[in-house]
Amino acid sequence: MATTETRPKQGTLPPEPLTLEGSSVLHSMYRIRWSALRALPEARRRELVAEMEKVMQEAEGRGESAVYSVFGHKADLLLLHFRPSFEELKAAELAVDSLGIREYLEPSHSYLSMVELGLYESSLKLYQSLVSQGVAPNSPEWTEVMEETMIRQREAMKTRLFPKIPAARYVCFYPMDRRRGEEKNWYSLPIENRQKQMDVHGTKGRRWAGKVLQIISGSIGFDDWEWAVDLFSNEPVHFKKLIYEMRFDEVSAEYSNFGIFMVGVRCAVKDLETLFAGKLPQFDAAPLSR
């Protein structure tokens, strides 16, 4: 291996940063068929809700599933599922589909993704170090170092890769991607440029620690957008202020597209009877932390 330390020229490094993947994530949105539900005898409605509570309570207790009442016309209900694998995620979806109350839930939207941590800064440093030592990208030596690095990073980031759904009162969900149009193309920028922009973006976001908790999940190859963003907070105004501030970053102002936004208020599974009776139940929110 060469020992001369020379800084690689911009654009000579691999373009893609390393990423770590964790929990499989499914957002399932439904409209409640209120008229049909209200037409049921009260005892039958309670029976259907009790069945749903029984199926979902254990997963909620593990921090793997949560129920939100969604504001506005886009949906009435959001069921959020985090699972260790796609197979377990599908099992969670089928468990809900098999419920009697599912007849009264009309799907309005869904989103499939996987918790993702982008390693822009560490990737750039590692690429520069290897290239300056004469290690060719994608060579056996390069691949070995990448694999060793990923193993260490996965272990170090395990709790962030497989998080519990935060016990916050509100959630804000939206999909997004990076522009690939004729004038602006995020993917044609050198990795050095993208890393600088992401560093500024991340620094601003970290100032909201303790007020907003963000979980990013990747959806390239899984759904219509490239990432899904879930923001959790006990104060909904924090969503507006955080997203507004970050819109002024170059990465958002010039290179980002955003999909639909949905905001929901958390409902404990044990209180679903209150929700399906048309009232908003209370929820014992907890302070936000990683």
CA atoms within 13 A on the CB side of 46: 3
Q: Which of 174, 187, 244, 255 is catalytic?
A: 174
Contact call for residues 100 and 48 (beta carbons, < 8 A): yes
Integer CA distances (angstroms), 241 to 112, 180, 204, 244, 248, in order? 27, 27, 12, 5, 12
Q: Which amino acid, 235?
A: E
Kind and range of the H or E run holding 119:
strand 105-119
How many angstroms separate the CA atoms of 281 and 275, rounded?
6
Q: Specify the residue for token string 């893609």.
A: 16
How many angstroms separate the CA atoms of 47 and 272, rounded?
12
Q: What is the DSSP letter of 100?
A: G
Q: Which two tokens stand for residue 28?
A: 């399932």
Residue 55, SS3 per DSSP: helix
Q: Could you write out the three-class secondary structure of 248-276?
A: CCHHHHHHEEECCCEEEEEECHHHHHHHH
Is residue 255 among the annotated active site residues?
no
Integer CA distances (angstroms), 1 to 127, 140, 170, 265, 283, in order? 15, 13, 53, 56, 59
Question: Any idea which residues carry the catalytic annotation?
Answer: 174
